[in-house]
Structure 1
Amino acid sequence: MEERGEVRKKILHIITRSDWTGAQKVLYGIVYGLKENYSDQFEVEVAAGKENGMLFEELDKVGVKYHVVENLVREINPVKDLKAYFEIKKLIKQGNYDIVHAHSSKAGFLARIAAKKCGVKKVIYTYHGFWGIEQYRGIKKSLLIWAERFAARYSDYLVFLCNREKEKAEKYRIGNPSQYVIIPNAILPIGNIQKGKLRRELGIPDHVKIVGNVARLDRPKNPMRFLQVAEKVVQERDDVIFVWIGGSIVEDFYAKQVQQYLDERPWLKEKVKILGFRKDAIELMADFDVFLLTSDNEGMPLVVLEAQQLGIPVVSTDVGCVGEMIDSVYSKKEDLALNLLKILNENDYVSHRYKEIYDRFIENHISIYRK
């Protein structure tokens, strides 16, 4: 216990959307750890935009107070963004928080400035990857880099998921090394999950191998590469089914692209299943023999951590922090297919001790909250 005695530090975590994807799950993991193990020292609350509310449902289950920021949206909208800034500022003033910890680009920009303007002693921002910048070129990219440099002035700590992400901040001249902290992601230990749910649902026999991914159907996740790898693999082995779990959140352009690709290849259509978004994805994943990540851009994907914890080998493109999470990553779809075939032939993977990794993840955050 610190010198403040019985007075707990108040922490506000804030994120743009309230859906249930990677960054939201990381936020939840931190909040859950604080609530369960450090509630005598920290009082934690969460704020987010109202799209689509699934994060709020999970927070309700564990009794964490949350605030809906009505005008906080993912898309750039000057009117809504200005309103959201004043909503956030009002919330921070009323909440009298000691620490504001922001996640995701829009909330990160608005909340850091608002927090410092309100006199918050410690402002933290976690970078969940650099896709928000790297998806663009030219003047738009330059403006976004400038915005991150500007917001970094209102930050006490900039948290990166791995060394590679920190190096990107250095390259873009965002913040300075005295602000940098590396905290690799972790997930709550997964309970005992019974295998068989996915196989039963899709009628897949035990002798057939399942290669899967859990991701949104959008550009950074590159579902088309997933199909191209599947096409190469099933030409070599007939006993493999590819399963993609996840649908479109922002637009359905890539869902249409995937459907068109499969319609043009009826023989492949029998070997690829697209299930859409599923809240029980972790239970379905338990039946994967190999996890195939085909993204163009990631931070430190939680699905890789989930796969590892379930004892599922991972084949991945060289994106984000993945190269620091698994032994080998690949740039070409041909290499992804070759390594996938190699693992399908061997299948000798051992999972790690994830309770210790999660505990360390929480302790690393506690250390910067206490500084």
Structure 2
Amino acid sequence: MSSQLKICHVITRMIIGGAQENTLYTCQGHLERGHEVTLVTGPSEGAEGSLLKQTCPPGLEIIEIPSLCRNLNPLKDRKAYQELLRLFQSRYFDVVHTHSSKAGILGRLAAWKASVPLVVHTVHGQAFFPYQFFLKNWFYIAAERYAAKRCDKIFAVAQAMIDQCVRAKVAPRSKYKVVYSGMDLEAFIEAQPEPELMQQLGITEKNLVVGKIARLFDLKGHDVLLAAAPKIIAAVPEVKFLLVGDGSLRAKIEKKAADLKITDHIIFAGLVPPTEVCRYTALMHVLAHLSLREGLPRTAVQALASGVPVVAYPLDGTPEVVINGLSGYLCEPKQPDRVADAVIRLLRNPKRREKMGEYGRQEVLKKFSWRLMSNILELEYIDGLARKKAGADSPLEPINKTVRTSR
């Protein structure tokens, strides 16, 4: 096997989001190590904006498949599968690494059919989760089980993701490995409050800022934060709520804030490029991360790197980032009073905030470096290919597969 690998990543769309940033950092790391890297994606449509328009590693080949889309569409899905299959049959790749639900299913099936030597997948967040209609969950679990039998290894950005998959009998535990989502945290460590940005947002030195970094969509928890806001304002009148992100619920959130008569306390920062997020975490005293569905909460990692304690739910990978009582507080989901109490407790005690923020900073720096993530994945590729070459295919894989060799 050549020391240079031909690696193809497949992801449904490259909007601004955690899974996409994770994938792009992986590509960057492997390009820097001398590998040949291709990224296959569908159109990057959405209110979030395109990540590739913001940043793209030099040397990365990008292939867009127009039919690869997020929503279920049998005609487009079949066409996307056929295009992926043609790509994998016409070009040699040592590794196909898929990301996200739709690309994860179609990409694994196509790569397996084309006998790509090593097929792996990363679970960034579950397609099935408790707050979703049960028939939809049943369909996604069945699809994930089918695809899991057609890949060699499944990575997850948090141990909680593995536990959920094993409980759902997607694949045996031994087929999984945790590779924590990697980020560039240096900017968050160094960022300081900028007077010009504070003036632009209407924040003064007297304000205490509760931040929330998330798309303005369902399940992200903006409704709970708004419901908690009046109690927080009554206890800490100088509080401001800084909402970083945009989306389809903005008008609804603005109306709710007006109905609650708290508009003067709400700041909409809008869509912020990933490289600029650190400027906003530097203004925060507490981060409220109230998403009901999150693989590994990157915004919580980023806030902690900035020394900002986090109030969140004990869901998915969040407890692996936010240590209850040490780097923040974990509250019962969908309980505005509990959220308000935790936020108030932090806002009223600067020493506690500082202590928790510093503890969280030290912890995330140990686990969430993007170069560490990239290096671990590279070693996994090399080990997996070596096992295949030696005929040591995983005994967990029941399907007989003929592996193509390099041309």
Instruction: Find the residue that maps to 1:262 and give its secondary structure.
Output: helix
Answering whether residue 258 of structure 2 is matched by residue 263 of structure 1, we say yes
Alpha-carbon distance in 1 for matches of 2:68, 2:178: 27
Q: Is the 8 A contact 1:15 1:47 kept in 2?
A: yes
> How many angstroms does 1:218 deviate by?
1.0
Matches of 2:289 and 2:181, distance apart in 1: 17
The corresponding residue for 2:51 is 55
The offset of 1:356, in angstroms, is 7.0
- Report deviation, 1:317: 1.5
Offset from partner CA, 1:100-144 (integer Å, 9 cap, x none)? 111110000000000011111111111112144544323222111
1:77 corresponds in structure 2 to 73
- Number of the residue aligned with 1:370: 382
Per-residue deviation, 1:61: 4.7
Per the alignment, residue 147 of structure 1 pairs with: 143
| 1:354 alignment counterpart | 365
Number of matched pairs: 359
Select between 64-73 and 85-94 the one with higher mean Cα deviation: 85-94
- Structure 2 CA distance for partners of 1:357 and 1:281, relative to 1, 3 Å: closer
Q: How does 1:32-47 map to 2 (within 5 A)?
A: 32-36=28-32, 38-39=33-34, 42-47=35-40
Show CA shifts across 1:71-114 (max 9, x none): 11111111111111111112222331110111110000000000
Asked whether the equivalents of residues 100 and 120 of structure 1 are also in contact (C-alpha less than 8 Å), the reply is yes
Q: Distance in 2 between matches of 1:163 and 1:136?
A: 21
Structure 1 residues 236 and 333: alpha-carbon distance in aligned structure 2, compared to 1, 3 A threshold: same
The answer on 1:334 being equivalent to 2:337 is: yes
- Alpha-carbon distance in structure 2 between the residues aligned to 1:76 and 1:201: 41
How far the C-alpha of 1:70 sits from its partner, in A, is: 1.0
Identity level (%): 26
Residue aligning to 1:96: 92
Aligned to 1:278: 272
**Distance verdict in 2 for CA 1:201–1:62, change over 3 Å:** farther
In the alignment, what sits opposite 1:210? 209
User: 1:170-181 to 2 correspondence within 5 Å?
Assistant: 170-181=166-177
Q: State the shift of 1:201 in Å.
A: 1.3
- Corresponding residue of 2:290: 294
Aligned to 2:11: 15
Q: Which has the higher contact order (CA 8 A, sep 6+)?
A: 2
Is the contact between residue 128 and residue 141 of structure 2 (CA under 8 Å) also seen in structure 1? no
Q: Secondary structure at the residue paired with 1:102?
A: strand
Measured against aligned partners, the alpha-carbon deviations of 1:40-94 in whole angstroms (never above 9, x if no partner) come to xx22111111123723335545331111111111111111111111111122223
- Determine if contact 1:105/1:132 at 8 Å carries over to the other structure: no
Match of 2:191 in 1: 193
Q: Distance in 1 between matches of 2:366 and 2:31?
A: 17
Unaligned runs of 5+ in 2: 325-329, 384-407
Runs of 5+ unmatched residues, structure 1: none
Superposed, 1:99-110 pairs within 5 Å as: 99-110=95-106
Task: State how far apart, in whole Å, the 1-side matches of 2:269 and 2:51 are.
Answer: 21
The C-alpha deviation readout for 1:243-294, integer Å capped at 9, x for no partner, is: 111111xxx2x3233122112122x111111222121333222211111111
1: CA distance, partners of 2:94 / 2:130 = 33
Structure 1 residues 256 and 221, CA gap change in structure 2 (3 angstroms): same
How far off its partner does 1:296 sit?
1.1
Q: Distance in 2 between matches of 1:61 and 1:23?
A: 16
Q: Distance in 2 between matches of 1:187 and 1:46?
A: 19
CA distance in 2, matches of 1:144, 1:111: 15
Kindly provide the amino acid, as one letter, of the partner of residue 46 in structure 1: L
Could you tell me how far apart the structure 2 residues matched to 1:246 and 1:288 are? 15
Distance 1:74 1:176, change over 3 A: same
Q: Using the TM superposition, give the Cα deviation of residue 158 of structure 1 relative to its aligned residue in structure 2, in angstroms.
A: 1.1
Q: Contact 1:317–1:336 (CA<8 Å) still a contact in 2?
A: no
Q: Which residue of 2 aligns with 1:117?
A: 113
* TM-score, normalised via structure 2 length: 0.84
CA contact (8 A) 2:127 2:140 kept: no
